[in-house]
Amino acid sequence: MRGIKILERVLGTIPIMFGVAIIVFFFIRLTPGDPVDIMMGQGGSISAGELENLREEFHLNEPLHIQLWYFLRDAAQGDLGYSYVLKQPVTALIGERLPATIELALGALIFSLLVAFPIGVISAVRQNSWLDRLSMSTAFLGISMPGFWLGIILILLFSVQLHWLPVQGRIKLGTGLEQHTGYFVLDSILTGNMEALKSSLLHLVLPSVTLGAPVAAVIARVLRSSMLETLRSDYVTLARSKGVAEWWVVIKHALRNAMIPTVTVVGLQVGILLGGNMVIETVFGWPGLGRMVVKAIFDRDFPLIQGAVMIYAFTFVMANLIVDVMYTYLNPRIRLG
Amino acid sequence: MEANQNVRSPLEDQLYIWRIRLEIWWQNFRNFVKALSVHPLALAGGILVILYLLSAVFADQITVHNPIQGNLRIRHMPPAWEDGGSWEYPLGTDSQGRDLFTRIVYGSRISLSVGILSVGISVIVGILLGTLAGYFGGRFDSFVSRLADLLLAFPFLIFAIGVMAFLGPGFTNLILALTFKGWVEFFRLVRGEMLAEKTKEYVEAARVTGQGHVAIMLKEILPNIIQSVFVLGTLRMGYMIITEASLSFLGLGLPPNIPAWGSMVAAGRDSLLVAWWVSTLPGLAILFLVMAINLFGEGLRDILDPRLKLEG
Amino acid sequence: MARFNHRTIIALLLLMAFVFTACAPTAPAETAQPADEGPGASGTIVVAMGAAPVSLDPADHRSRESETVIRNMFDGLVTRDTSSGVHMQLAESMDWADEQTLNVKLREGVKFHDGTEMTADDVVFTFERIINENAIEYPEPHTSPRKGLIAPLESIEKTGDYSVTMHFRGPWPPAMQLLVHQQIVPKAYIEKVGTEGFIAKPIGTGPFKFVSAQPGLEEVVLERFADYYGGSPDLTPVGPACVNQVVFRVIPEASTRVSALLAGEADIITNVPQDLIPNLEANENVQVKTAGGTQPKWLELNVHMAPFDDVNVRKAMNYAVDKDLIIEKIFGGRAVALPGPLSPYNNFVNKSLSPYPYDPAMATDLLKQAGWEDTDGDGILDKNGQPFTFTIDTLEDWRPLAEAVADMYRAIGIDANVRFWEYSVIKDQLMAGERQGYLDDWGDSAFDPVGHFEAKWHGFVADTPYGRGNFSTYSNDRVNELIEQGETTGDPAARQAIYDEAQQIVYDEAPAVFLILPEEVEAASASISNWSPASDSRENMHDVCKAE
Amino acid sequence: MNSNTPLLEVNKINSVFPSGDKIVRAVNDVSFTLNEGEILGIVGESGCGKSTMLLSLLRLIRYPGKVESGEIRFRGDDLLQMSNSQMRAMRGKEIAMIFQDPLSTLNPAFTVGEQIRESLRLHNIVGNSNAPWPFDRVQREQEKQRVLQIMEEVGIPSPMDRYASYPHQFSGGMQQRTLIAIALACNPKLLLADEPTTALDVTIQAQIMNLMKQINQERGTAIILVTHDLGLAAEFCDRIAVMYAGRIVEQGTVDEIVETPRHPYTQGLLNCRPRIGERQQTIRPIDGNVPSLANLPNSCAFASRCSFVKDVCNEGPIPLFETEHGHLNRCLLTSDYKRLPEWDWDSIVEQERAQ
């Protein structure tokens, strides 16, 4: 029964993806700025005639609905067209850059969960202790400092001063890593290349911490406030009366129920992890999809923007779907919505 | 004397009622302050928030220098407590030689209103749609949820650039760009909580006593949900202010004659090695504001939340 | 019932992982393999760039970053040394049969990276691939964007195994300067693998051969080409490249680039922010070098919109800016004031012009003559009731300069402020003459007025390169006429006179505030030797060595 | 542990909650004893500290509250002196507890069967393989059988397919039976029931009480029933203690309390209970309400509401007087101190206060 509902939601993403694609299609074309003109750049002289035949080539002169028809017809066959600027098929470009963004997002999510859960639980159990105050103030630091500021400070401290961690990029030179999936950590494990594994993990640390800090802060605070609720509930008293050890009461009984509101918030944060990492990718020179999309937007590289936006939409909606499924799994009272 | 007491004109009745209301309100306020004083952190938070508000309102009285006029000769002057700094520019100067303290004080005007307005609008829209969707469910719920999914999936940056491109960089466009997706989070949170609360007994009890749906939503369920909305709201306040920094990092910030903390942090990032204060101090201003709001919120929650009171 | 949903959840998660990877069709590509150690070569140099190259096909790009990488893999007929000008490279000798035909004698025995020899066929193929319509077939048949750069080239013919003749539509004085930017590609190889195969694994005649490239060219790895013919004989040392491997890596954020250098992850970094230079200079294992810049900065004033329709006001705007203070404070002394419309390093700059001096008193007088005075004592100049408000539009990259200039205008009573835009958005409004003033730069990498001067100061003529970047909507018939003459007169002395007069007129009419020309600043680790930053966007790695 | 020592001996325990600057004395100087298999009823209005007293027995009072002083001897050993791990071994194994509102007491996130099985696993009732989670399949199977058996015993129909359903899918009665199943999983010697049937309607209440009666008789489990319903206590319990404002004001066998209530508060409680069968009966409620536990008078707390109040009642602490054997009450008047002239009133009061 529940499997069907999940399938329903998976199929439900298709209209959303195309919905987003169509909205973006019109939105970027109506926004002022002409891709061909930008591509020509400034230097040298260029006759307007050449601009004209470039526009011709990209079908830019046809009315919008015709252009939309071209786009939908090609997209249906899986051909998302070519990037105006990079002159490579959009699917290839995204296919190569998406794993970097997802690897960073996963790294940040893992970091934030590893940090947020202990802090959230401990500061609830030890409410108003100095530990609670300390963890909450570091949480504020995570929330209030912009990503790039935190990133630059971390680089200056851990890479330039202490030389513990690398400054930028996904992996150091000369590790001879064969890429199969595009996920460096996964690839290095698959190919058993320990040096590449070490280097890719080291390169993942600072960007994940920077991207994960605000997310950890939010999750920690929400978890803390819901833990305070569940620790006061009757079923916790029942568990204690059954002779359950205190820490097991906190972890199994209280935390399990406190997860329910927290999961929704984690779901929202995943959106930030995926969508918000363009700044982090810029600061750490991380060759992810986020940075490419930013450049594509400024270049008005329509096919690339559309392709990337559809993939982003797909990943967003998938992440939310996973959260909803986890939500029903955690909270038996709510059937899959 | 007995006779005319109950022969009161309607006006006097109104006055009488209002006097009673005032008294009750004053009574609540007094023991609210008494309760607040017991909770040190909340007090600190409250005072800090008030300080920020005062600095926003009386910015020109507090500061000496002009926040916009720069003077290249005193560029990158360190804060007073470092060597080379002077008390005339307590927090030093930025890369254009403008007094940092003045700009931060004026910046509170913009950043506070960016934070309050964008979170405020997002919360209102989020609660409105979230309550209706969560409570009634059905087609409205799936429609709005799918719309939320759509917006959540719609990259924020494209919309921000679109808005900036169409309407030009400016304050109101920034608020528009921030709230465009801001409400989705509150919508999903409120909807999630509403789904959970809806199954609870006290809602059925309220329905049994004949309360209308609206009354149930407003009086019964919302007070319980307002808690997490409050927590998320205070967190999002900081996030909104910082997003302005990320936008100016990408070149879409507010024009410099509108001093805002976000653009200051972004503009100062290149000289972090040379002049750490240009970028860090506005960042700390954001930090303390967010911390103040959250601490004050925390204290408020403990005071107002009935369940947290001990019996007796 | 409970068991069932356990399995679906786990199945779903596996599906997710698979979907993410499945939709990433990455052919197993090699990451930077350690190259085989060539004889006598040593080490790897990492060059950190601010933006990524767009393409590795010499005929299919118009970006400085692409050219930086390409000119290490491909050589052109001629090359330029920033100090000593243009020298022969793949061409042994060139002579003009007449003003419109150029005979080129090719060097013999030059090998492509795949061992085949370069002949006249390759040169003809290269140029025809640029000037013919829809000559590049991938990804869709389109004309090379570089066609406009060598527009006067009408045709090219092979006159011998190692000699070609180029026919031009008319005398084209900057021919030599612009041929530097066209590199020769292997005809046989491209016809075999097609453009798609060519850009996947480019083959050229340059000192380095291609090894690998990351997606979106974020990282391009080049390897020393052992039997390189040695390069231009006039530029010693002649011979294969000094270092074994060069990696061009993109680090967009300036402070991260500097940190990468300080942490030893990069050997050479380009466009270093001014504020960080003191730190780098203080560090003993880092060397900072500058080279003449090629991106002059102007604040163009809309000559058709009050108050800038009055030449006195425009002159006043020039006098009000203290260029030396800006150079000293914001650029740390690493910039030069613009004497006039052309950059001081241009071959045909009018040497008699000198930058507008900083003279606020003169500025106030000029403004008074134009009717602008502070009558109501609010500190802002006004004229028949209207305050003098001035919005400077610019890009975020020029924030410090724009804000400093706005400050200086405020100092003389103009209510000035700055607004940052996205180039593509503001460009149309500028061309339509809707804005007051725009602060930007215009590339002059060819050191010749052609391709630069006419785009900025010639009146806008649709479908021609004239006035393509003219945001001040300035148009002076005499100047237009002079520009057109300058393009076709061969004799350098005559061109100098033409351009001198044109510059004088533009200087006097001051359609823009001539600001500064910042120097190109690059930094490298101390272990790097005989490297120098090139201002014509070419990181020449041929002779650069790295001490281990 | 010879047979005549009582199962549970509670001696002057005090539980306090510091809140702000005041101290709330929820339980003060409560003493009582309970023998094997005996059922003691603790009756009192809500807010008189009876639930807190129960929680104090299991040392489950939440910080900042604590059991300040006194002794709780369970089969001779004092629970207050035990270490945490020893105390944990007692909870659920020797002493179990059931609560008033079953829906909020059962963990909504775990299945019913799972929550019962947890008690078994905690005290290793069924086998003792300490194999980690995935490999203890055999022991889990055995435990599951045991749980199904217990569910049968407490009257949950068709336990096989109810094992994996969630608390919110059960009716109120069924949920309470689950709680009882959890409590009985380890066959405890003492069952603390905190108003188990208050949230249920009368028919279900009777079923639950019979179930508990049956458990008491078959397993010999002693029960302390906390309730505000004196009638219920009268039918079900062997002995009853009446609590008021944190103190036990009267204690005795059911008959003594029902037929010859000594303390005015007990009499008041009995009077305001409608007796079935009598048509017009005037129910005389006790007017006024319970004094706040934060500022308790050390004299008789009921004085303000007592219709027989004398000024001596407000002078000093009222000790427990034993009128008949075992029938104690804390009221100067009913003990008719005038009738027992030979008692040196002052010395008794001094002596009592001295302890």
Q: Are C223 and C208 in contact (CB under 8 A)?
A: yes
Residues 121-160 (A) with a CB less than 8 A from some CB of C: 148, 152, 155-156, 159-160
The mean pLDDT of D224-238, rounded to a whole number, is: 87
Task: Provide the pLDDT for residue A243.
Answer: 86
Phi/psi of residue B193, nearest 5 degrees: -65, -40
Task: Spell out the SS3 assignment of A122-173.
Answer: HHHHCCCCHHHHHHHHHHHHHHHCCHHHHHHHHHHHHHHHCCCCCCCCCCCC
Task: Provide the pLDDT for residue D160.
Answer: 87
Q: Are C381 and C373 in contact (CB under 8 A)?
A: yes
Nearest to B312 among D103, D168, D293 (CB): D293
Q: Kindly give, in sequence order, each residue whose CB lies less than 8 Å from that of residue C17, ignoring residues fewer than 6 positions away.
A: none
Measured distance CA(C74)–CA(C56) in Å, rounded: 10
pLDDT under 50 in chain A at which residues? 1, 43-44, 336-337
Q: Kindly give, in sequence order, each residue whose CB lies less than 8 Å from that of residue A144, ignoring residues fewer than 6 positions away.
A: B238, B241, B242, B283, B286, B287, B289, B290, B291
CA A102 to chain CA mean position, Å: 6
Residues of D in contact with A233 (CB under 8 A): 104
Domain count, chain B: 2
pLDDT category at D335 given cuts 50, 70, 90 is low
Which of C353, C357, C296, C297 has the alpha carbon at shortest distance from C322?
C357
Q: Return the bridge partners of D225, or none.
A: D41, D193
Measured distance CA(D18)–CA(D36) in Å, rounded: 35
Measured distance CA(D75)–CA(D55) in Å, rounded: 18
CA dihedral A163, A166, A167, A170 (to 10 degrees): 180
pLDDT of residue C520 exceeding 50: yes
Q: What Cα–Cα distance (Å) separates residue A75 from each residue in A69, A300, A303, C21, C289?
A: 10, 19, 10, 20, 50
Task: Provide the pLDDT for residue C324.
Answer: 92
Question: Does D138 contact C at CB distance below 8 Å?
Answer: no
Q: Are D309 and D303 in contact (CB under 8 A)?
A: yes
The mean pLDDT of B280-291, rounded to a whole number, is: 85
pLDDT of residue D286 exceeding 90: no
pLDDT category at C247 given cuts 50, 70, 90 is very high
Q: Which one has a higher pLDDT value, D304 or D119?
A: D119
C-beta atoms of B164 and C325 within 8 A: no
C-beta atoms of C404 and B168 within 8 A: no
B147-180 pLDDT, tens digit each: 887 787 777 777 777 777 677 777 888 888 888 8
Residues of A in contact with D93 (CB under 8 A): 243
pLDDT of residue B312 exceeding 50: no
Q: What Cα–Cα distance (Å) separates residue A217 from each residue in A117, C233, C312, D240?
A: 10, 63, 58, 54
Nearest to A329 among C9, C52, C219 (CB): C9
C-beta atoms of A2 and C4 within 8 A: yes
pLDDT of residue C163 exceeding 50: yes
Q: Are both B12 and B130 inside the same structural domain?
A: no
The residue of chain A with its CA nearest to that of C137 is: A87
Task: Provide the pLDDT for residue D342.
Answer: 42
Residues 242-271 (B) with a CB less than 8 A from some CB of A: 242, 245-246, 249-250, 262, 265-266, 269
Which of D189, D274, D164 has the alpha carbon at shortest distance from D230?
D274
The mean pLDDT of D168-181, rounded to a whole number, is: 87
Q: Return the bridge partners of C221, or none.
A: C212, C247
User: Which pTM was predicted?
Assistant: 0.82
Most confident of A128-142, A162-176, C403-417, D264-278: C403-417
The mean pLDDT of D343-347, rounded to a whole number, is: 52
Task: Provide the pLDDT for residue C29.
Answer: 43
Q: Are both B117 and B149 inside the same structural domain?
A: yes
Task: Provide the pLDDT for residue C474.
Answer: 86
C-beta atoms of A149 and B289 within 8 A: no
Interface test with C, best of A34, A70, A91, A96 (most C CBs within 10 A): A96
Burial code (b: 16+ CB inside 10 Å, e: under 16) for D229-265 equals bbbbbbebbbbbbbbbbbbbbbbbbbebbbeebbbbb
Nearest to D17 among B38, B199, B310 (CB): B310
D19-44 pLDDT, tens digit each: 777 788 888 888 888 888 899 999 88
Residues of C in contact with A40 (CB under 8 A): 62, 145
Task: Provide the pLDDT for residue D352.
Answer: 58
Q: Are B228 and B193 in contact (CB under 8 A)?
A: yes
Phi/psi of residue C444, nearest 5 degrees: -135, 55
Task: Provide the pLDDT for residue C42.
Answer: 65
C-beta atoms of C4 and A1 within 8 A: yes
The residue of chain C with its CA nearest to that of B98 is: C407
The residue of chain A with its CA nearest to that of C54 is: A86
- C294-518 to CATH, choices 3.40.50.1100, 1.20.58.220, 1.10.3300.10, 3.10.105.10: 3.10.105.10
Task: Provide the pLDDT for residue D279.
Answer: 66
pLDDT of residue C65 exceeding 80: yes
The mean pLDDT of C372-390, rounded to a whole number, is: 86
Task: Provide the pLDDT for residue D340.
Answer: 40
Q: Kindly give, in sequence order, each residue whose CB lies less than 8 Å from that of residue A122, ignoring residues fewer than 6 positions away.
A: A131, A132, A135
Which of D186, D184, D178, D171 has the alpha carbon at shortest distance from D155?
D178
pLDDT category at B193 given cuts 50, 70, 90 is confident
Measured distance CA(D19)–CA(D150) in Å, rounded: 42
Residues of A in contact with B161 (CB under 8 A): 31, 297-298
Residue B183 tokens read as 């409400």
| Residue D142, amino acid | Q
Task: Provide the pLDDT for residue C246.
Answer: 92
Q: Nearest C-alpha of chain C: how many angstroms from D160?
A: 13
**What is the 8-class DSSP label of residue C276?**
G
Q: Which one has a higher pLDDT value, D120 or B297?
A: D120
Q: Are both B5 and B154 inside the same structural domain?
A: no
- DSSP letters spanning C111-172: B-TTSPBP-HHHHHHHHHHHHSTT-B-SSS-B--TTGGGGTTEEEEEEEETTEEEEEESS--
pLDDT category at C425 given cuts 50, 70, 90 is confident
The mean pLDDT of C170-184, rounded to a whole number, is: 84
Helix (H) or strand (E) holding C208: strand C208-213
Q: Provide residues of B within 8 Å CB-CB of chain D.
A: 38, 199, 201, 310-312
Question: Does B168 contact C at CB distance below 8 Å?
Answer: yes
pLDDT of residue C73 exceeding 70: yes
3-state helix, strand, coil in chain C (%, to 5): 30, 25, 45
pLDDT category at D346 given cuts 50, 70, 90 is low
Q: Vertex A282, ends A280 and A287: CA angle to 5°?
A: 100
pLDDT category at D129 given cuts 50, 70, 90 is low
CATH superfamily of C44-289+521-546: Periplasmic binding protein-like II (3.40.190.10)
What is the CATH number for B94? 1.10.3720.10
Task: Provide the pLDDT for residue B120.
Answer: 92
Q: Vertex D303, ends D300 and D309: CA angle to 5°?
A: 115
Measured distance CA(D128)–CA(A89) in Å, rounded: 63
Domain ranges of chain A: 13-76, 93-299+309-330
CA dihedral C461, C465, C466, C467 (to 10 degrees): 90
Q: Vertex C181, ends C177 and C183: CA angle to 5°?
A: 130
D220-230 pLDDT, tens digit each: 889 999 988 88
The residue of chain B with its CA nearest to that of C272 is: B270
Please state the length of chain A: 337
Residues of A in contact with B307 (CB under 8 A): 232
Task: Provide the pLDDT for residue B307.
Answer: 52
Q: Are both B240 and B93 inside the same structural domain?
A: yes
**CB–CB contacts below 8 A, A to C:** 234
- A93-299+309-330 to CATH, choices 3.30.70.520, 2.102.10.10, 1.10.3720.10, 1.10.3470.10: 1.10.3720.10
Provide the strand spans (E) within chain D: 8-19, 22-34, 39-43, 66-74, 77-78, 95-98, 190-194, 222-227, 239-244, 247-253, 321-322, 328-329
Q: Nearest C-alpha of chain B: how many angstroms from D37?
A: 34
Residues 83-112 (B) with a CB less than 8 A from some CB of A: none
Chains near C, with 3+ CB pairs < 8 A? Answer: A, B, D
- Give the structural domain span for B54: 44-308
pLDDT of residue D92 exceeding 70: yes
| Residue B124, amino acid | I
Task: Provide the pLDDT for residue A288.
Answer: 87
The residue of chain D with its CA nearest to that of A249 is: D107
Measured distance CA(C217)–CA(C197) in Å, rounded: 15
C-beta atoms of B271 and C425 within 8 A: no
Nearest to C9 among A160, A166, A325 (CB): A325
Average pLDDT, chain A: 82
Residues of A in contact with D110 (CB under 8 A): 256
C-beta atoms of D293 and B38 within 8 A: no
Q: Are D27 and D49 in contact (CB under 8 A)?
A: yes
C-beta atoms of C1 and D111 within 8 A: no
Measured distance CA(B280)–CA(B264) in Å, rounded: 9
Question: Does B156 contact A at CB distance below 8 Å?
Answer: yes
Question: Does B165 contact C at CB distance below 8 Å?
Answer: yes
Question: Does B40 contact A at CB distance below 8 Å?
Answer: no
The residue of chain D with its CA nearest to that of A330 is: D109
B85-134 pLDDT, tens digit each: 888 888 888 888 888 999 999 888 888 888 889 999 999 998 888 888 88
Interface test with D, best of A127, A228, A238 (most D CBs within 10 A): A238
Q: What Cα–Cα distance (Å) separates residue D92 from each residue in A108, D10, D77, D189?
A: 43, 19, 17, 10
pLDDT of residue C32 exceeding 70: no
Residues of A in contact with D166 (CB under 8 A): 332-333
Q: Nearest C-alpha of chain B: how many angstroms from A330?
A: 12
Q: Kindly give, in sequence order, each residue whose CB lies less than 8 Å from that of residue C246, ignoring residues fewer than 6 positions away.
A: C44, C45, C47, C72, C208, C221, C222, C223, C541
Any idea which residue has 């023991």 for tokens? B31
Phi/psi of residue B221, nearest 5 degrees: -85, -45
Domain ranges of chain C: 44-289+521-546, 294-518
pLDDT of residue B43 exceeding 90: no
C-beta atoms of D55 and A239 within 8 A: no
The residue of chain D with its CA nearest to that of A234 is: D105
- DSSP letters spanning D154-172: TT-SSHHHHTTS-GGGS-H
Any idea which residue has 């294969």 for tokens? C240
B244-275 pLDDT, tens digit each: 778 878 777 777 778 888 888 888 888 887 88
The residue of chain C with its CA nearest to that of B273 is: C276
Chains near D, with 3+ CB pairs < 8 A? Answer: A, B, C
Chains near A, with 3+ CB pairs < 8 A? Answer: B, C, D
Q: Nearest C-alpha of chain C: how many angstroms from D120?
A: 22
Q: Are both B224 and B285 inside the same structural domain?
A: yes
Q: What Cα–Cα distance (Å) separates residue A171 from each residue in A152, A176, A188, A243, D179?
A: 19, 10, 11, 51, 57
Question: Does A234 contact D at CB distance below 8 Å?
Answer: yes
Q: Which one has a higher pLDDT value, D320 or C305?
A: C305
Report ipTM (2 d.p.): 0.78
Residue C195 tokens read as 């453009």
Residues of B in contact with D21 (CB under 8 A): none
The bridge status of strand C219-224 relative to strand C85-88 is unpaired
B1-5, C325-329, C377-381, C528-532 — which is least confidently predicted?
Answer: B1-5
Which of A239, C39, A106 has the alpha carbon at shortest distance from D107?
A239
Q: Are both B220 and B296 inside the same structural domain?
A: yes
* Beta-carbon count within 10 A of D11 CB: 16
Q: Are both B168 and B192 inside the same structural domain?
A: yes
Residue C402 tokens read as 């724009």
Complete edge-to-edge strand list for the sheet that includes strand C415-421: C415-421, C389-395, C437-441, C297-301, C512-514
Any idea which residue has 């795949």 for tokens? C114
Q: Are C203 and C117 in contact (CB under 8 A)?
A: no
C476-509 pLDDT, tens digit each: 888 888 888 888 787 888 888 888 888 999 899 9
Residues of A in contact with D60 (CB under 8 A): 237, 240-241
Question: Does B300 contact A at CB distance below 8 Å?
Answer: no
pLDDT category at D135 given cuts 50, 70, 90 is confident
Angle, helices A256-275 vs A194-231, to 10°: value is 130
Question: Does D111 contact C at CB distance below 8 Å?
Answer: yes
Measured distance CA(C220)–CA(C222) in Å, rounded: 7
Task: Provide the pLDDT for residue C19.
Answer: 40
SS3 category, B138:
helix
Please classify residue D195 by burial: count the beta carbons closer than 10 Å to its beta carbon, then call 0-12 exposed, 13-18 middle and 19+ buried: buried
pLDDT category at D345 given cuts 50, 70, 90 is low
The mean pLDDT of C278-303, rounded to a whole number, is: 87
The mean pLDDT of B38-61, rounded to a whole number, is: 84
- DSSP letters spanning A23-35: HHHHHHHHSS--H
Question: Does D158 contact A at CB distance below 8 Å?
Answer: no
